[in-house]
Amino acid sequence: MNIAAFFAKHVTPSMLRHALRTAIAASATAALTQVLHLEQGYWAVFSSILVLQAHFGSSIAASWARLLGTACGAVLGALAATGAEALLGPGMSTLTAAMFVTIFLCALLAAKNDNLRLAGLTAAVVICLHATVGESAFSIGLSRFLEVSLGIVVAMGVSLAWPSHARVVLRFGLGKGLEKLGELLAALMESRLHGHYDRPRIFHHKDALLRLFLRNRQLLASARREPGPSGQGEEFSELLGFEDRLGEHLLAMDHAIENAPPEGFHQHLPGELEELGAALQNGLNALGQAIRDQASTGPQALARLDAALAATGQKLLDLRQQRIIAVYDLDEVMHFYSFYHALRQAARDLRAELARRGEAA
């Protein structure tokens, strides 16, 4: 396999873009440290690499954490090194005492605030360099802070010049989440209607859905830090909550059919159940596409869902009037209605969202 084919297969455009942005930030920072004649400019290069994340919102959070941790560690390290030397004089005991007290305090602070987890590293560098080169601890601490700040400024400059917004990726992730819900629904419907619970297939879909939901929540946290309309974050949060509710309905369906007998009451309305599942999956795909395109869903998906709900409800009413359900034991009836009510509630929730987006459009 040649290099071009390897990249085409394994490297996505977003991966390539992030790699190029990181390389540009590191190279520009290294050049600046040479121009400014910084003796330990590699700290600035480290910072530019560490804080430049895949999305602008994540870069802001990483920059703030590194800046705050560096400032706190530099101050504590300089105070501890200077104080210990004043009390104990230079030597190994001074280094040990200053290091123990400072790292102990930094670890406590990091336990309270995750943004301060780099404070201990900076403090240790300040104390060790002070003991090695004899330079003022406060001067060393200030140098570390300025070097880190330089790397952060360059990284944020690259992020602004060539932005990658989490909210854009999240919008596609939300659309993908609805499609994944549709795939899980299809597996559940097939398992129920065919009387065979396909455990590996269903587990695969549930695992993929969980991973995607977790990633979308991380993207939401990054998107909230990015500049933009404040209402957009609330819209994304509501959509995540909506997908969570749909996921809970599908998990209820899964629980109802996992240990259900292959033959049961559902065999009296296979066509209606199949159409309701297909209409629900069609609506999920339509809504997912609308979210990605920032467009309306159109009336077709809503009309099909309404027709499927009405047909299934009417068929159940006819079966109850015929008292067919009376020949089944209570356990089978409970399994069926647990499955059906979860399916119907998912369809109703989706119907409400389709109608809301149609009115908004």
pLDDT digits (tens, 9 = 90+) for 162-192: 777 788 888 899 999 999 999 999 999 999 8
198-207, 224-233, 263-272: segment of lowest average pLDDT: 224-233
d(CA 298, CA 295): 9
Q: What is the reported pLDDT for 47?
A: 86
Q: What is the reported pLDDT for 129?
A: 85
**Percentage above 90 pLDDT, the chain:** 28
86-92: average pLDDT: 79
Give the pLDDT band of residue 210 (cuts 50, 70, 90): very high
Q: What is the reported pLDDT for 202?
A: 93
Q: What is the reported pLDDT for 190?
A: 92
7-21, 198-212, 258-272: segment of lowest average pLDDT: 7-21
Give the pLDDT band of residue 242 (cuts 50, 70, 90): very high
More confident residue, 188 or 234: 188
Q: What is the reported pLDDT for 5?
A: 66
Give the pLDDT band of residue 283 (cuts 50, 70, 90): very high
- State the average pLDDT for the chain: 85
pLDDT in tens, 330-356: 778 788 889 999 999 999 999 999 988
Q: What is the reported pLDDT for 280?
A: 95
Q: What is the reported pLDDT for 220?
A: 87
190-207: average pLDDT: 90
Q: What is the reported pLDDT for 219?
A: 85
104-131: average pLDDT: 85
d(CA 165, CA 177): 19
207-216: average pLDDT: 92
Q: What is the reported pLDDT for 214?
A: 93
Decide if pLDDT at 297 tops 80.
no
166-360 CATH: 1.20.58.220
**What's the whole-model pTM score?**
0.71
Decide if pLDDT at 359 tops 60.
no
Give the pLDDT band of residue 287 (cuts 50, 70, 90): very high
Asked if 327 and 341 touch (Cβ cutoff 8 Å), the reply is: no
Q: What is the reported pLDDT for 189?
A: 93
Asked if 72 and 108 touch (Cβ cutoff 8 Å), the reply is: no
Q: What is the 3-state secondary structure (H, E, C) of the chain?
A: CCHHHHHHHHCCHHHHHHHHHHHHHHHHHHHHHHHCCCCCCHHHHHHHHHHCCCCHHHHHHHHHHHHHHHHHHHHHHHHHHHHHHHHHCCCHHHHHHHHHHHHHHHHHHHHHCHHHCCHHHHHHHHHHHHHHHCCCHHHHHHHHHHHHHHHHHHHHHHHHHCCCCHHHHHHHHHHHHHHHHHHHHHHHHHHHHHCCCCHHHHHHHHHHHHHHHHHHHHHHHHHHHCCCCHHHHHHHHHHHHHHHHHHHHHHHHHHHHHCCCCCCHHHHCHHHHHHHHHHHHHHHHHHHHHHHHCCCCCHHHHHHHHHHHHHHHHHHHHHHHCCHHHHCCHHHHHHHHHHHHHHHHHHHHHHHHHHHHHHHC
Decide if pLDDT at 270 tops 80.
yes
Burial grade of 49 (CB within 10 A; 0-12, 13-18, 19 or more): middle
Give the pLDDT band of residue 9 (cuts 50, 70, 90): low
Give the pLDDT band of residue 194 (cuts 50, 70, 90): confident
71-90: average pLDDT: 86
